[in-house]
Structure 1
Amino acid sequence: MSAPDPDTQSIALPTGWRAALSPDRGIPRVRESLPAIVQIVLAATAAFAFAHYVLGHPVPLLAATVTISSLGLVRDARPRLILGTVIAMVVGILIAELIVMVAGVGWWQLALTLTVSLVVARFFSPQPAFAIAAAIQAAIVMVIPTSVPFLRVADGIVGGVTALLVTALLPRSPLRTVTAEGAEVFAAFDSAVMTLVQALRRGDRQRAERGLEKARGLQAPVDTWRQGIESGYAIARISPFLRRQRTEFERQERIRTQLDLASRNLRVIGRRVVYLSDDNLSRPVAADLLSELAAGARLVADSLSDISYEPAAREAVRAVAARLDPAALAAGRSSVDQNLIGALRPLAVDLMTAAGMPASDARAALPRT
């Protein structure tokens, strides 16, 4: 009995409250967030202790809340974004303090404070989170009054400075997560390519359409990978402990950029495979070439965690690229068949460049047409 086709298999997935309480999802989620949890706990405790024991503030609530809100559990913990959140919250605190001094505390004063905070924050920033952060801190000032004016502004500044210091001195190293995201993108890329390979071998339009759909779905994970790289690089720039990782983030960005281009070229290939599959004829030559390019892409994926795979990846793709002559490989076939072989050429260039080959050398590896 032949093995089942993985493309046609379905599995049961937990939904609703079962999905929310599933250990298979909850435990990895906690494990992924542990560095952020440790960072937040240490930072909030340090901010509270400094404001209370050093500055003598009796209840430095905002020192802790500003720190927690600034850092958050989000993966994108770039210093610039944290600074923006800090500024938003301090602005909200300052507006509330001024209104308390002039108008006192009450329900209409709360409404006025929230209105002014939201309007001012939206004026200065296009980010909705910026305005919400300002409004939350302003509301805290209004509902928990104090006898010392602007004491909570100082607490907010302490919390913000602590958050920025902790980002630099106790950073969340996202390299492992970013590398895992890159591996997931390559796995999705490989799945799309191999589905198109099967379509070419069988002359199966339905399978070709499925491969094209997978190729179109690559953009979202590629963009997520980009955001992770940008965040990691920004943290590595200011952290003395992560500066060595800047080179690795730059290398992953080079790979990501080229894989983004390769994904776009794969969509072009997918559309041509869909068109060609209308005749239900097998195209083993194109299938073999695309399959070999997929094998080279897997080596590029391996190089994410081990750079020593890059030379092997370059040579594997170069060996395919050297044979990509549409006139020779599709002699006697239609112009559409030749165009399909031709569409593999930029894909090969993208993969060679992703593996570290200069773009000029990658283009030179193709036969002249």
Structure 2
Amino acid sequence: MRRRLDLKIAVTRAWNSVPAALQIVVAVVASYAFSHYVLGHSVPLLSITVAISSLGFGRDARPRRVFDSVVGILVGILFSELLFTLLGSGVWQIALILFLTFVIARLASPSSAFAAAAGIQSMMVMLLPDPDGGVLTRSVDGLVGGVIALLVTALVPRDPRALARRDAGRLLSTLAESFESLLDGLRTGDEAAASLAVTRLRRTQPLLDDWSAALDSALSIARISPFLRRHLPALRHQARVLQGLDLAARHLRVMDRRVSFLLRDGASRPQLAELLGEVAAGITVLGESIDDPVRAKEAAAIFERIAPRLDPAVIMPGAPVTETIIVLLTRPLVVDLLVASGRSGDDARALLPAV
């Protein structure tokens, strides 16, 4: 069973990497062809390695990230070539140039992979035979690889929308499981179920971070790519939903901890379960609006029905303070979800009753 699961994960990982692999292959072929056939360089190795290192297989495919990688690697190549010209080759020159390249790379980027790539490029400069045309020919090859990597990012882009949707689906699934546990706890008075909801909600932050990174990458690429620009409105809607669900997850973590404490007496709270069940239904519809933005209006309608009732005296007249606090915590949660559904903050707050 475990082998089957590992194999499925490996196949999924390989399949999801196909767009990035195709993009890198296009960049490598174009870089090699330009350096070899147009510029006449017999072995344009650095044009290929710069294209591969700049694009890579990371989740972050933003043009700005590619540009930063290209600039950093090119600076490393040029710096190595200048020092090689001044100092010559040898063991101590290799050690000095590699050390200085690492320092410059760490100044340019926090990525350890980036520093390793810059170090590899500098060692190629030091160890490969001098090309025809002089040492600086390799800098030209690196520039060709970098420029083509940037062009490919715009003209043959990866489409990170699918990755963003997958990340969104994982988050929504975790939120749904958390709500299920929370509602079970409130209906049955089971503290363990509410505690399970707290545990599940702790897993939401990495999911939010992954979704945010993928969505940021999708937005950045769509702004410069003529083929993906038409998707900008949908991506901006997704960004609004992400912001709302991020705030909702934070509210729910606080709320779940209070509910877990509240249920230590073993008593059920069906009124709170009904209220939060409506919120959960609204979040489900809001999540569906990622693929169908029209559903955002339906989600807003659900939250608009909930907001005017968020007065503890109306929902739970005579309830103790420990229970009314849960209702009060639901107020900012619903406001944030209304904003994520497309309402303005002022309009959302205006729906809340005075307490």
Q: TM class, shorter-chain normalised?
A: over 0.9
Q: Does 1:191 align with 2:146?
A: no
SS at match of 2:290: coil
CA–CA separation in structure 1 for the residues paired with 2:109 and 2:326: 47
Runs (5+) with no aligned partner, structure 1: 1-11
Q: Judge which range, 154-163 or 95-104, deviates more.
A: 95-104
Which of 140, 148, 151 is matched with 1:165 structurally? Answer: 151
CA offsets, 1:153-204, max 9 Å, x none? 0000000000000001111111122122112211111111221111111111
Shift of 1:152: 0.5
Partner of residue 217, structure 2? 231
Partner of residue 342, structure 1? 328
Q: Does the aligned pair in 2 maintain the 1:95–1:116 contact within 8 Å? A: no
CA–CA separation in structure 2 for the residues paired with 1:139 and 1:160: 18
Shift of 1:306: 0.6
Matched AA of 1:71: L
Matched AA of 1:324: L
CA offsets, 1:128-167, max 9 Å, x none? 3443222110011112121422110000000000000000
Inter-CA distance 179–200: structure 2 relative to 1 (3 Å threshold): same
CA offsets, 1:195-221, max 9 Å, x none? 111111111111111111222221111
- Runs of 4 or more consecutive aligned structure 1 residues displaced over 3 Å after TM superposition: 123-130
Q: Does the aligned pair in 1 maintain the 2:234–2:290 contact within 8 Å? A: no
Partner of residue 65, structure 1? 49
Matches within 5 A, 1:175-254: 175-254=161-240
Q: Does 1:106 align with 2:106?
A: no
CA–CA separation in structure 1 for the residues paired with 2:269 and 2:307: 18
CA–CA separation in structure 1 for the residues paired with 2:60 and 2:110: 18
Partner of residue 9, structure 1? none
Q: Does 1:49 align with 2:17?
A: no
Partner of residue 257, structure 1? 243
Q: Does the aligned pair in 1 maintain the 2:59–2:213 contact within 8 Å? A: no
How many residues are matched?
353
CA offsets, 1:307-360, max 9 Å, x none? 121111111222222322211222222111111122122222222221112222
Which of 312, 316, 341 is matched with 2:298 structurally? Answer: 312
CA–CA separation in structure 2 for the residues paired with 1:214 and 1:197: 13
CA–CA separation in structure 2 for the residues paired with 1:100 and 1:339: 69
Partner of residue 26, structure 1? 10
Q: Judge which range, 321-330 or 38-47, deviates more.
A: 321-330
CA offsets, 1:48-93, max 9 Å, x none? 1110000000100111110011000112111111111111211221
Inter-CA distance 279–185: structure 2 relative to 1 (3 Å threshold): same
Matched AA of 1:50: F
Q: What percent of counterpart residues are identical?
A: 43
CA–CA separation in structure 2 for the residues paired with 1:106 and 1:139: 12
Q: Does 1:93 align with 2:44?
A: no
Partner of residue 310, structure 2? 324
CA offsets, 1:243-290, max 9 Å, x none? 112222211111111111111111121021011101100000000111
Partner of residue 125, structure 2? 141
Shift of 1:107: 2.4
Inter-CA distance 22–122: structure 2 relative to 1 (3 Å threshold): closer
Matched AA of 2:228: L
Q: Does the aligned pair in 1 maintain the 2:234–2:293 contact within 8 Å? A: no
CA–CA separation in structure 1 for the residues paired with 2:201 and 2:227: 38
Shift of 1:126: 4.0
CA–CA separation in structure 1 for the residues paired with 2:288 and 2:25: 36
SS at match of 1:173: coil
CA–CA separation in structure 1 for the residues paired with 2:351 and 2:332: 11
Q: Does 1:36 align with 2:5?
A: no
Matched AA of 2:279: L
Shift of 1:125: 3.9
CA–CA separation in structure 2 for the residues paired with 1:68 and 1:131: 14
Q: Does the aligned pair in 2 maintain the 1:193–1:266 contact within 8 Å? A: no
